[in-house]
Amino acid sequence: MVYPEEKARDRDSLTARALDILPSYNVYRKTYALLRQSRRWSREELAAYQAQELSRLLDHAYENVPYYRRIFRERSLVPEDIQTPADLTLLPFLTRHDLQNNLADLKARNYPESAFEYVTTGGSTGIPVGFYYEKGASRAREWAFMKTQWDRVGYRFRDRCVILRGYIVGSPEDNIYWKKTLLGRWLLMSSHHMNEETLPVYIDQIRAFRPRFIQAYPSMAVVLARYMVEHEVEPFPTVKAVLCGSENLYPWQRSLLSEAFGCRVFSWYGNSEQTVLAGECEESTSYHIFPEYGIVELIGKDDRPVTGPGAMGEVVATNLTNYVCPLIRYRTMDLATEAEGTCTCGRAYPLLKRVEGRVQDFIVTGRGELLSGLTMNIDTDAFDNVKQFQFYQDRIGEVILNVVKKPAFSKRDEEYLYQEVSRSCGSDVTITIKYVESIPLTARGKYRYFVQNLPICFGEQEEGRIEHTSPDPAA
């Protein structure tokens, strides 16, 4: 029997949850409606929108955020001095060290403490940092942008989707490594239990679930795809696209995923700090930067804007929507190259040709140059008898290739692998192959193909530049 007071408590609980959800839904709906409209705007209309939103953000930061009030005064500036995104060069960069050391002063004083949601990065760059979302708003806006992103390949809320993104689900004792969520439409699968013994169970469960999309970290999708290709497992007939994000997508990964799943591989780029968001469209693999989300600059090694298509620079970004903790000219430590012209899809968005990856995903050659994993020939049959691999560097010009061997791995495989990797890295990098039993996942359930323990930076103003000395292994 349910007593009246219990009914009242249940009703009050449901009402409270509804009141919590409603503001988020309203933020989502408003943002999504804007994006449905702005995708048709001309370049001039988008530029006018950015200038307007930037003006609002700077006025707010000057009036309510102690850190930026101090920055403006130190430079004898007022917000009106910055009329367009190009004028942002009047302000300094915000580095991760700045964020760590000034977080209290980056909180807007005109918001109640209940509006702040503390968030941290995964620390893949070696500098984990904390910052704040607006509770009930930041995640709702992000979902509106991601839904708009996935609309391009036909994603709908009612579609079934398999999620392979670092979750720990189930246990070996039960032989169950998944759970359904979002009213049964999403199948969350554990990335920490994927191995040769369990992958057949994963495949059977995915096939029975009949998903229309797979949303994944590229590294986790690759574990499944390699097993399917090697064991000649047929693609899942219902899957229309693989939605990759939160890691760099290498060409060899895209090729493998396309082969295994028999569908389009669709990638997007963003960061936990929510300063930049970009993704592919229906017609190209260029990353379309959302101008409604933030302002993106590409900065060269001299800390000045890079010029010309194809020039690589560090992504420096200014979020236009997070007022509780504004991040203006934030150095992401990601490198990218600008694309030339506009896309045939008709959107007037700025384009990135490639996202080269985190600074910590680069190998440092003997001459101190940065070698991107995108340029390396990992898509070669030299890795056919390699179960897992990882490049590790703690000395300039020297790289250890950690390898988990398959049973068929032979001396000939070792010689061929050394030859191919050495050729890709060039004469300024010495390769040493080291055999290991396993390569662990990160705390967030990712495989890191490059582990960089050198103090890399890309520009002149960042702390901890590389010097041509080897770090103390005990440090």
Question: 3-state SS string over the chain?
Answer: CCCHHHHHHHHHHHHHHHHHHHHHHHHHHHHHHHHHHHCCCCHHHHHHHHHHHHHHHHHHHHHHCHHHHHHHHHCCCCHHHCCCHHHHHHCCCECHHHHHHHHHHHCCCCCCHHHEEEEECCCCCCCCCEEEEECCCHHHHHHHHHHHHHHCCCCCCCCCEEEECCCCCCECCCCECEEEECCCCEEEECCCCCCCCCHHHHHHHHHHHCCCEEEECHHHHHHHHHHHHHCCCCCCCCCCEEEECCCCCCHHHHHHHHHHHCCEEEEEEECCCCCCEEECCCCCCCEEECCCCEEEEEECCCCCECCCCCCEEEEEEEECCCCCCCCCCEEEEEEEEECCCCCCCCCCCCEEEEEEEEHHHEEECCCCCEEEHHHCCCCCHHHCCEEEEEEEEEECCEEEEEEEECCCCCHHHHHHHHHHHHHHHCCCCEEEEEECCCCCCCCCCCCCCEEECCCCCCCCCCCCCCCCCCCCCCC
What average pLDDT does range 64-81 have in this prediction? 97
- The pLDDT score that the predictor gives to residue 250 is 85
Q: What is the pLDDT of residues 360-371, one digit of tens each?
A: 778 888 888 878
The better pLDDT of the pair 319, 245 is held by: 319
Domains of the chain from N-terminus onward: 365-452 (3.30.300)
What average pLDDT does range 53-79 have in this prediction? 97
- The pLDDT score that the predictor gives to residue 232 is 94
What average pLDDT does range 362-390 have in this prediction? 78
Percentage of the chain with pLDDT > 70?
87
What average pLDDT does range 206-212 have in this prediction? 96
Among 54-68, 314-328, 374-388, whose mean pLDDT is lowest?
374-388
- The pLDDT score that the predictor gives to residue 440 is 85
With bands split at pLDDT 50, 70 and 90, how would you rate the model's confidence at 293? very high
Among 58-67, 295-304, 363-372, whose mean pLDDT is lowest?
363-372
CB 391 within 8 A of CB 399: yes
* 166, 243, 408 from 256: Cα distances, Å: 20, 14, 21
* 52, 162, 199, 244, 426 from 221: Cα distances, Å: 41, 11, 12, 8, 29
What average pLDDT does range 42-69 have in this prediction? 97
What average pLDDT does range 44-69 have in this prediction? 97
Both tokens of 43, joined, read: 């370049």
With bands split at pLDDT 50, 70 and 90, how would you rate the model's confidence at 122? low
pLDDT surpasses 60 at 205: yes
Among 289-298, 350-359, 448-457, whose mean pLDDT is lowest?
448-457
- The pLDDT score that the predictor gives to residue 123 is 54
What average pLDDT does range 230-236 have in this prediction? 94
- The pLDDT score that the predictor gives to residue 124 is 52
Q: Which residues pair with 401 in a beta bridge?
A: 391, 433
pLDDT surpasses 90 at 34: yes
pLDDT surpasses 50 at 45: yes
pLDDT surpasses 70 at 404: yes
Task: Supply the Cα-derived Rg of the chain in whole angstroms.
Answer: 24
CB 358 within 8 A of CB 295: no
Q: What is the pLDDT of residues 323-342, one digit of tens each?
A: 999 999 999 989 999 888 88
pLDDT surpasses 70 at 21: no
- In whole angstroms, give the CA distance from residue 261 to residue 282: 18
Question: 3-state SS string over 265-304?
Answer: EEEEEECCCCCCEEECCCCCCCEEECCCCEEEEEECCCCC
Mean pLDDT of the chain: 85
